[in-house]
Amino acid sequence: MSVLPGLTRRDVIRLVAAMAAAIPSAALAEALDADCWPWAAAVDLDGLRSLGEGYRSTYGDATGITEVDALLTRGEANASAAIQRLAAADYEAGRLVTVAGWHVSRTEGRLFAALAARC
């Protein structure tokens, strides 16, 4: 059960999977100028915004959010793998944050905030 109406953990997993599949494409880099990334349409945007804004308001972390956003906007083939490595390292080091009752890695929180800023 989600604490955010319309957004479930399964939605977030689908979002991250869609992101991982889309990042290597050159088309994604061009699409980043749009209001929202095309693969974000797979989830409830209000819930996504709520997670991102919750992370930003609770933790600040503008530099970290900008770093994750930069990985996404460069459209590099290894961006997805880099984000996955950062999130895994966060879990291993215990760098977890709580956003809307969810315990996620700091990198995942930054990802939500970067998405919320664009969507």
Q: How does pLDDT run across 14-35, given as a tens digit for each residue?
A: 666 555 555 544 454 455 445 5
Task: Give the side-chain half-sphere CA count within 13 A for 108.
Answer: 23
d(CA 95, CA 59): 12
pLDDT surpassing 80 at residue 50: yes
pLDDT recorded at residue 96: 93
* Nearest by Cα to 12 from 97, 106, 111: 111
Q: Which helix (H) or strand (E) holds 70?
A: helix 62-73
Spell out the residues 6+ positions from residue 14 whose beta carbon is closer than 8 angstroms to its own: 42, 43
pLDDT recorded at residue 4: 54
